[in-house]
């Protein structure tokens, strides 16, 4: 079954009670049993809910996985993965990482004895140098947020397997439409469903997908025990959003390319970060493991002036100044003071998150209007 068909049909069936073609919103906390232990597959909605269950099957299918689990946010999904570890275990992650991921690693789990290493994962030799018998997870984000670095998933899988570690890939920026990490050797895929999968800036949710039954059992145990699950209404909205994921991603990619190429011509801009450029350091890896280059772009200004960057993000009219990404509307953000403010200044600047860095989430509007908006803001 091809992607567009899976996005619409996988995991969902007409409602057996009424024939409703859309999965109903099962807005219930509990389920009546005919006798003790004699039920219809559902006992309590923290453990399982029919609307959430359909979404979990759908997300697993579009990621070419077998098991899916949905959570109250992307960070709740990350929380579940790290809770699979024990004190003394080590995690290797990229040094160019979403600020919320960095914060949960450093301020929540580090005090429980889990050791985190942050490294330039484009340098596989450096990753291998850090691996040892205590390495239990290699955490990859690709494309990275916000520097759009590309990490070779297959290469990271080989390194992880050598030491018996799990490879976890944050696939939020690419979505399964553009890359399927499980096919490249990943053990777990994570999504901030809030972003492209939901696609309409009206849901906060996270998800995990795996094809390993042992990992899945642990994933469901933690999901149920910790209780950070998503509700049926949000599950319904994301099921609806995923039905147009392939159509939206096509437009995000088309608009992203037009805007990246426009930014490249601006006299006010120093660098443009977009993996579709042949000059991108890992363009060939992106071309190999992705089916398109997405709608996320970052750029810096000549002179690296903070005030100028803050003025530009205020002057735009169509681009909305807001955190998050992946919605149908275009967003603009300033990572150093917004999404990555929780990372110490010296740490974030080493990875390229300087004061003038601006990040765009290119929506599905007409590209010409978006370019005109950026032109007037940069003028």
pLDDT above 90 coverage of the chain, percent: 93
Give SS3 for 254: helix
- pTM of full prediction above 0.85: yes
Between 38 and 166, residue with greater pLDDT: 166
Give SS3 for 199: coil
* CATH no. of 3-242: 3.40.640.10
- What is the architecture of the domain spanning 245-378? Alpha-Beta Complex (3.90)
Sequence-distant (6+) residues with CB within 8 A of 88 are: 113, 114, 115, 134
pLDDT band at residue 125 under the 50/70/90 scheme: very high
Mean pLDDT of 137-163: 97
Question: In the prediction, which pLDDT does 338 show?
Answer: 92
Question: In the prediction, which pLDDT does 223 show?
Answer: 98
Question: In the prediction, which pLDDT does 38 show?
Answer: 83
Closest listed residue to residue 301, CA positions, set 292, 291, 293, 312: 312
pLDDT band at residue 37 under the 50/70/90 scheme: confident
Question: In the prediction, which pLDDT does 194 show?
Answer: 98
Mean pLDDT of 223-242: 98
Rg (CA), the chain: 21
Sequence-distant (6+) residues with CB within 8 A of 116 are: 90, 91, 93, 105, 106, 109, 110
DSSP 3-state helix, strand, coil percentages of the chain (rounded to 5)? 40, 15, 45
DSSP 133-182: TTEEEEEEESS-TTT-----HHHHHHHHHHHTPEEEEE-TTTHHHH--GG
Q: Is the pLDDT of residue 350 over 90?
A: no
pLDDT above 70 coverage of the chain, percent: 100
Closest listed residue to residue 150, CA positions, set 138, 141, 159: 141
Mean pLDDT of 277-282: 96
Would you state the structure tokens that stand for residue 247, as one six-digit string? Answer: 């159509």
Question: In the prediction, which pLDDT does 17 show?
Answer: 87
Question: In the prediction, which pLDDT does 40 show?
Answer: 81
d(CA 261, CA 293): 13
Residue-averaged pLDDT of the chain: 96
Q: Is the pLDDT of residue 34 over 90?
A: no
Q: Is the pLDDT of residue 60 over 90?
A: yes
Mean pLDDT of 301-318: 96
Question: Residue 167 in contact with residue 152, Cβ under 8 Å?
Answer: no
Q: Is the pLDDT of residue 86 over 90?
A: yes
Q: Is the pLDDT of residue 168 over 90?
A: yes
Question: In the prediction, which pLDDT does 275 show?
Answer: 98
Catalytic site positions: 46, 98, 170, 195
Question: In the prediction, which pLDDT does 339 show?
Answer: 83
Domain boundaries, the chain: 3-242, 245-378
Q: How many Cα atoms occupy the beta-carbon half-sphere of 191 within 13 Å?
A: 31
Q: Is the pLDDT of residue 297 over 90?
A: yes
- φ, ψ (nearest 5 deg) of residue 93: -135, 170
């Amino acid at each position: 079954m091809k992607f567009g068909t899976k996005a619409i049909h996988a995991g969902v069936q007409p409602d057996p009670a009424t024939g409703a073609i859309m999965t109903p919103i099962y807005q219930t906390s509990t389920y009546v049993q005919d006798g003790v232990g004699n039920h219809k597959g559902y006992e309590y909605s923290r453990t399982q809910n029919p609307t959430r269950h359909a979404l979990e099957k759908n997300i697993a299918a579009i990621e070419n996985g077998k098991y899916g689990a949905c959570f109250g946010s992307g960070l709740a999904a990350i929380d579940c993965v790290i809770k699979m570890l024990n004190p003394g275990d080590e995690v290797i992650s990229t040094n160019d990482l979403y600020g919320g991921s960095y914060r949960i690693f450093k301020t929540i789990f580090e005090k429980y004895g889990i050791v985190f290493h942050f490294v330039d994962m484009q340098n596989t030799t450096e990753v291998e140098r850090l691996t040892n018998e205590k390495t239990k997870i290699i955490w990859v984000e690709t494309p990275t947020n916000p520097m759009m670095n590309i990490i070779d998933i297959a290469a990271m899988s080989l390194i992880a397997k050598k030491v018996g570690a799990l490879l976890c890939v944050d696939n939020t920026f690419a979505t399964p439409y553009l890359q399927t990490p499980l096919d490249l050797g990943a053990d777990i895929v994570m999504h901030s469903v809030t972003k492209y999968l939901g696609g309409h800036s009206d849901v906060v949710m996270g998800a995990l997908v795996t094809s390993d039954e042992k990992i899945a059992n642990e994933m469901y145990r933690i999901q149920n025990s910790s209780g950070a699950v998503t509700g049926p209404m949000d599950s319904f909205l994301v099921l609806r959003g995923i039905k147009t994921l392939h159509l939206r991603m096509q437009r995000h990619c088309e608009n992203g390319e037009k805007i990246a190429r426009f930014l490249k011509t601006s006299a006010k801009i120093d660098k443009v970060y977009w993996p579709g450029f042949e000059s991108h350091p890992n363009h060939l890896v992106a071309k190999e493991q992705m089916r398109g280059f997405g709608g996320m772009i970052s750029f810096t200004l000549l002179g690296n002036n903070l005030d100028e960057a803050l003025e530009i993000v205020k002057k735009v009219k169509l681009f909305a100044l807001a955190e998050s990404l992946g919605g149908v509307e275009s967003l603009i953000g300033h990572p150093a003071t917004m999404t990555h403010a929780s990372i110490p200044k010296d740490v974030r600047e080493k990875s390229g998150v300087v004061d003038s860095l601006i990040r765009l989430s290119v929506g599905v509007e007409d590209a010409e209007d978006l370019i005109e908006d950026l032109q007037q803001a940069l003028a």
